[in-house]
Chain A
Amino acid sequence: NAGVTQTPKFRILKIGQSMTLQCTQDMNHNYMYWYRQDPGMGLKLIYYSVGAGITDKGEVPNGYNVSRSTTEDFPLRLELAAPSQTSVYFCASTPFVVRGRVNEQYFGPGTRLTVT
């Protein structure tokens, strides 16, 4: 299994441009997540999905959109890039969540995004 893969690895955007960060997992996991990590900080949850067709906002959703048309893919869309979105973006997945207990999350290698 390749696990969780993310593309691109690096990207530089100009202010106002848009792009889609791709995330794919081949483990048939139901739950998928998008986090961002600013320099020297912990990860913050942007959006998550509990299955195909179901998505919801995390802590910092403004400026982003997601979709989940298949179990495998969970793309993150930036519509109007701003310098505040300069960050490293991580996608993660987990097979299921038992209430009160969280199964281990598998993370992708990340996408480094710079907006100038």
Chain B
Amino acid sequence: DAKTTQPTSMDCAEGRAANLPCNHSTISGNEYVYWYRQIHSQGPQYIIHGLKNNETNEMASLIITEDRKSSTLILPHATLRDTAVYYCIVPGGNAGGTSYGKLTFGQGTILTVHP
């Protein structure tokens, strides 16, 4: 899996946009970027994924830079329930041996949303 780097923690005010960065400078051309989150004591939850184009779904937006070396997850109107650990994951591509779908969870970013 390509290595990812995320800030250890971030704060956000309720109602404001939360922008969570991720660096994945060793990403290869066919590797996707995935975002998951884990709310305290619960199982991880899939948020969004992308390859090169920006993506949006009902939970979040994903902005991937043109060189694909970094990305930003955007929660447009953060709520207290968005307080969680957010994981940026780049599973290996054809050369990464992930034909079985392994996900490597690092330390992630602890996002705290304040009232």
A: which residues have CB within 8 A of B? 4, 31, 33, 35, 37, 41-45, 48, 50, 56, 58, 88, 90, 92, 94, 97, 99-110
Contacts and interface: CB of A to CB of B under 8 A. Distances in A.
**Residue with the greatest number of chain A CB neighbours at <10 A, chosen from B41, B103, B108:** B103
Interface string B26-53: 0000111010000001111110010000
A56 B45 CA distance: 24
Given A48-B102, A101-B30, 5 more contacts: A42-B108, A43-B103, A90-B44, A97-B101, A104-B34
A52 to B, nearest CB: 15
Nearest to A31: B101
Interface residues of B, number: 26
Is the contact region of chain A dominated by helix, strand, or loop, or is it mixed?
Answer: strand
Is the contact region of chain B dominated by helix, strand, or loop, or is it mixed?
Answer: loop
B91 A102 contact: yes
A116 B103 CA distance: 30
Nearest to A108: B43
Given A100-B93, A102-B34, A45 B46 contact: no
Contacts of A102: 32, 34, 91, 98, 101-103
